[in-house]
Amino acid sequence: MADAKSAIEYAHKNRERFIKELSEFVKIESISTDDEYKPQIQKAAEWAADHLRKLGIENVKLMPTAGHPVVYGDWLQLPGAPTVLIYGHYDVQPVDPIELWETAPFETTVKGDYIFGRGTSDMKGQVMATLNAIEAIMKTGDFPLNLKFMLEGEEEIGSLHMPDFLSKHGEMFKADFCLNPDAGAISADEPTITYGLRGLAYYEINIYGPKQDLHSGLFGGTVHNPAQVLTELLAGMHDANGTITLPGFYDSVRPVTDQEREASARLPTTPESYLEQTGVPALWGEKEYTPALRVGARPTLEVNGLLSGWTGPGSKTVLPAKAMAKVSCRLVPDQTSAEVHKQLLKYMEQNAPKTVAWEVKDLHQSPWAITDINTSGVRALASAMETVWGKPPLYRREGGSIGVVAMLQETCGVESGLVGCGLPDDNVHSPNERMHLPTWYKNVDAYIHFFFNMK
């Protein structure tokens, strides 16, 4: 019979081989944003499938989507025992700008406590930590529960085809809990469980004035400038407190609970730490909420980009014909992107002057997700982390979005525990991506304890 102690000893003895296997995985240039890399995406999916088979996982197959395939596998040998779904993704971000890399992005390099390479942290390294833990248990005895696997190839492009895929195959991925190591920790010394993710609603706002750019000397003062109109409309979307002014924007927002406030207060993300990370002279936002709550538990409206008129070198005195802004809202329970779209349209109808025409394009949506931290899966994770780190984990609601978490919740009824060995300074999505090996090793040990805790 397997036990955590034997499995952890096995994992420690095989660390060098685990690094070699991760290096093989990283070497595959599985960039999902560029069709040129489609053969590499396929190769990465096949590599992951082969690795599952080596572990003894059954029914392993590549399931097609309208884009890149999903790797499925299962080990369902214990009727009545809990089933854990393992989520991961094998695609990675582009490496540009390549000139800023200090090492070859697809050749791993170990420097001190870090291993460098694209995907080492996000998230091939995270996937391998989970698989290493499973191998350690399987090679030292009987696995204590049932397993299913979902390894996708489109997370870095928003899991574009996952909604349709899960609507067809959702029954296959039903489980008692999902272990999703696509998050990370606040620091190497602070084990962290992410239990909430904000959703996303993304828009393009266009303001149209004259039929073409005009001479600002001949027409300025008599034709309303679309750039001026747009910036005034954008500025009016917040009040002096940072509160969003779209009509009814907060009507569906779920209040922050006392338990969440207490958990947030334990986080080391103080106002000072935000100032240090960002380099801004002062913080901004709703004064009645701490920075950590503003980032994780409150909705936002951000201007992501602006374009109008002459932006080249030197001067050109034009009154632009149009102006455009990219605007995104991070959504929290119980907001919906459809509601926010209507609220944005209503704001524009109420505030846009009659001197211009306008349109709002709905570009992208991703739902929010939140997991009850009192579920058995989260408790099993928390106990495992406390065993390894010698302290209870921190709980946080993350400001970003991982679309598949909400999809699994809505389509399959599966709640996710978001953990991982990624650290804030891992340079994910940037040159010189890296992973902290001591934290990686600790996560392997923690996942071993988690699987035994869940049985």
Report pLDDT digits (tens) over 294-324: 999 999 999 999 999 999 999 999 999 999 9
Mode of pairing for the β-strands spanning 322-331 and 300-308: antiparallel
For residue 445, pLDDT over 80 is answered with yes
For residue 6, pLDDT over 80 is answered with yes
Distance of CA 238 to the CA centre of its chain: 26
| Segment holding 64, helix H or strand E | none
Provide the β-strand partners of residue 260. Answer: none
Provide the β-strand partners of residue 364. Answer: 202
pLDDT over 90 for what percent of the chain? Answer: 92
pLDDT over 70 for what percent of the chain? Answer: 100
For residue 178, pLDDT over 70 is answered with yes
Structural contact between residues 192 and 396, judged by C-beta atoms closer than 8 angstroms: yes
Residue 115 has a pLDDT of 98
For residue 1, pLDDT over 70 is answered with no
Average pLDDT score, the chain: 96
Summarised one tens digit per residue, pLDDT across range 85-111 is 999 999 999 999 999 999 999 999 999
Q: Pick one of 3.30.70.360, 3.20.20.70, 2.60.450.10, 3.90.75.20 as the CATH number of 199-253+299-364.
A: 3.30.70.360
* Structure tokens, 329: 């809202």
Residue 179 has a pLDDT of 98
For residue 341, pLDDT over 70 is answered with yes
Q: What are φ and ψ of residue 280, in 5° steps? A: -80, 155
Q: What is the DSSP letter of 207?
A: E
Of 298, 191, 185, nearest in space to 238 by CA: 298
Residue 277 has a pLDDT of 83
Residue 125 has a pLDDT of 98
Q: Give 222's Cβ-side CA count (13 Å radius).
A: 6
Helix axes 15-26, 4-13, angle to 10 degrees: 70
Domain(s) of CATH 3.30.70.360: residues in the chain: 199-253+299-364
* Structure tokens, 223: 């034709």
Distance CA 359, CA 11 (A): 57
Tell me the CA distances in angstroms from 30 to 38, 41, 105, 150, 209, one per residue in order: 8, 4, 12, 17, 44
Residue 46 has a pLDDT of 98
Distance CA 75, CA 173 (A): 12
Structural contact between residues 182 and 41, judged by C-beta atoms closer than 8 angstroms: no
3-state SS, 235-246, equals HCCECCCCCECC
| Segment holding 370, helix H or strand E | strand 369-370
Residue 440 has a pLDDT of 98
Place of tokens 């097609």: 64
Residue 69 has a pLDDT of 98
Q: What is the dihedral of CA 201, 336, 338, 362, to 10 degrees?
A: 10
Summarised one tens digit per residue, pLDDT across range 211-222 is 999 999 999 999
Residue 401 has a pLDDT of 80
Provide the β-strand partners of residue 434. Answer: 116
Architecture of the structural domain at 4-197+368-454: 3-Layer(aba) Sandwich (3.40)
Of the chain, the end-to-end C-alpha distance in Å amounts to 13
Q: What is the DSSP letter of 223?
A: B
Of 429, 299, 438, 449, nearest in space to 385 by CA: 449
Residue 366 has a pLDDT of 86
Helix axes 38-55, 15-26, angle to 10 degrees: 150
Residue 357 has a pLDDT of 98
Place of tokens 């397993």: 147
pTM of the model: 0.86
Question: Quick one: average pLDDT of 266-286?
Answer: 92
Q: What is the DSSP letter of 433?
A: -
Give the helix ranges, DSSP H, for 147-256.
162-169, 216-219, 226-235
Give the helix ranges, DSSP H, for 236-361.
258-265, 271-278, 291-296, 337-351
Distance CA 437, CA 120 (A): 10
Provide the β-strand partners of residue 200. Answer: 330, 366
Question: Quick one: average pLDDT of 182-207?
Answer: 94
Summarised one tens digit per residue, pLDDT across range 122-172 is 999 999 999 999 999 999 999 999 999 999 999 999 898 999 999 999 999
Confidence of residue 224 (pLDDT cuts 50, 70, 90): very high
Domain(s) of CATH 3.40.630.10: residues in the chain: 4-197+368-454
